[in-house]
Amino acid sequence: MRLAPLLALPPIALGIAAAVWMITSAPGPAQVEGAAPALPVRVMTVAAEDIRPTVTAWGNLRAAETWIAVAEVQGEVIWRHPDLEPGRLIPAGTEVLRIDPADYELALAQAEADLAAFAAESAQLTAEVANTTRILELERERLVLAEVDLARVRALTEQGTLPQSRADEAERATLLARRTVAELENSLALIPAREARIAAQIARSEAAIARAERSLENTTLTTPFDLRVTEVSAERFQTVAPGQVVIRADGIAAAEVVAHLAIDSFRSLLGDAPDSITLADMMHDGPAGWIEVTLSPLSDPAQVWPARVMRIEGALDARARTVPVVVMVDDPYEGADPPRRLPLVPNMQVGLTFQGAPLTGVIAIPEAALHGGQLRVVGTDDLLELRPVVMAFAQGGRVVIAEGLSPGDRVVIDDIAPAIPGMALTPVEAPE
């Protein structure tokens, strides 16, 4: 009874051994050779083209010229132009305000009277000089005669012919003549000092006249150019003081706006301009087609105004680190027909389009085809290649490539996820 399990062991071992032999000697699974299917993508074949760099910006308009009228004299406002109201347009050379000139007319009359008095004194001094000169000549002749007579009397006195009293009289007469000559010479010597004093007084009177005339001129305020009044702070019968601002106005001949351009965008406007040409030359004296600017109100983009770059302000924007470019538009009121066509007035928001010097033979691709400084290019055997490139600038949804692409390269414009270098592609040329 106990030998029955032992008798069953040899058949089981034999079965296990047979199974191991069959597994180890059986052939492996058949391998079928094949490749992953190629991914169809849209591509564009790049070619060199000519592009004119375009930069857009916006800003607030301001008047190119402003007039701040400050009272230079004190007095009562006696007349005010009927059109001197905020918003009114006033042509150049129009008298708009008049201050009472009575005090300054009196000051002018007084100064002119003083000048006349000093002129008369100067004429009197001239006559006095002439008279004194003639008298001095006579007194000198009399002195000569007195000295001759004194010598003769002294000789006769020594001979005993004349008494000593006669000699004393001759001596006194000679001394008196000498004194008279000396006094006249002293009077003539003082004439230059008197002339200088009178000349100074005349000059002072002339200065007073000029000051009074200038004050009289300043009693009237006249517009220096065509303008639009923005503020008036002087009323009729009101007394104004020197230094008081009475009128503020904006010129209407031109308006300007400061456009803040990124440094790279600003640099791209230079295009293919020669190195010898400066930006100032391109702004003002460059040939047509270098830098052109158009301006449109944001409230009415259909209005287009030609403009021009005037200057660059003195410093970069402290926060945005942009270049402040001042653009001017002439005759901002031309063709104004509110509300159909509004004039370009201060504080109006406008958009600006800058077109720089043309770039020749450059390569541009859609901006969406650039992925973090790399392009997906169809390489040899239609395999995907990730190629690093250098971007020059972007505009209008396109990117200008400075380095990394050549004409004839095929750029993938579809988004591939994941993009694995070497993956097979089926390129399909996208329509332009």
CA distance 414 to 428: 10
User: Does the pLDDT of residue 8 top 80, yes or no?
Assistant: no
* Distance from C-alpha of 336 to C-alpha of 324, rounded to nearest angstrom: 28
Distance CA(424)–CA(381), nearest Å, equals 8
Domain spans in the chain, listed from the N-terminal domain onward: 40-50+361-429, 54-62+253-357, 68-100+219-251, 103-212
Domain 68-100+219-251 sits in CATH at 2.40.50.100
More confident residue, 315 or 21: 315
Of 164 and 18, the structure prediction assigns the larger pLDDT to: 164
The yes-or-no verdict on residue 406 having pLDDT over 50 is yes
Q: What is the pLDDT of residue 186?
A: 94
Chain mean pLDDT for the chain: 87
What are 283's two structure tokens? 């702004």
> 66 or 340: which carries more pLDDT confidence?
66
**CATH class, range 54-62+253-357:** mainly beta
Q: Which of 167, 168, 174 is nearest to 153 (CA)?
A: 167
Range 30-38 average pLDDT: 60
Single out the residue of 24, 62, 11 nearest to residue 258, CA to CA: 62
Q: What percent of the chain has pLDDT over 90?
A: 60
Higher-confidence residue of 379 and 33: namely 379
pLDDT score, position 18 = 65
What pLDDT, in 10s, does the model give residues 342-372? 899 999 999 999 988 788 889 999 998 999 8
What is the per-residue pLDDT for 276?
61
pLDDT-based confidence at residue 32 (cuts at 50, 70, 90): very low
So what's the pLDDT on residue 7? Answer: 47
Band of the pLDDT at 247, cuts 50, 70, 90? very high
Q: Which pLDDT score, from 0 to 100, does residue 286 have?
A: 46
Q: What is the CATH number of domain 40-50+361-429?
A: 2.40.420.20
Confidence band for 425, pLDDT divided at 50, 70 and 90: very high
pLDDT of 27 over the 90 cut? no
Instruction: Tell me how long the chain is.
Output: 432
Residue 12: predicted pLDDT: 64
Tell me: the pLDDT tens digits for 255-295?
A: 999 999 888 788 788 766 666 666 666 555 444 447 889 99
What is the per-residue pLDDT for 158? 86
pLDDT at 305 > cutoff 50: yes
Q: How far apart are CA 141 and CA 152, in angstroms?
A: 17
**pLDDT at position 255, please?**
96
Q: What is the pLDDT of residues 374-388, one digit of tens each?
A: 999 999 899 999 999
Rounded to whole angstroms, how far apart are CA atoms 54 and 361? Answer: 16
What integer pLDDT is reported at residue 263 of this predicted model?
A: 82
Confidence of residue 25 (pLDDT cuts 50, 70, 90): low
Residue 333 has pLDDT above 50, yes or no: yes
Across the range 215-232, mean pLDDT stands at 96
Q: What is the pLDDT of residue 360?
A: 86
Question: Which range is least confidently modeled, 63-72, 107-116, 214-223, 387-396?
Answer: 387-396
Tell me what pLDDT residue 28 has. Answer: 55
Report how far Cα 28 is from the mean position of its chain's Cα atoms.
86
Mode of pairing for the β-strands spanning 384-388 and 390-395? unpaired
- pLDDT at site 336: 81
* Average pLDDT rounded to a whole number, residues 400-413: 92
Model confidence at 60: pLDDT above 50: yes
Q: Is the pLDDT of residue 3 over 50?
A: no
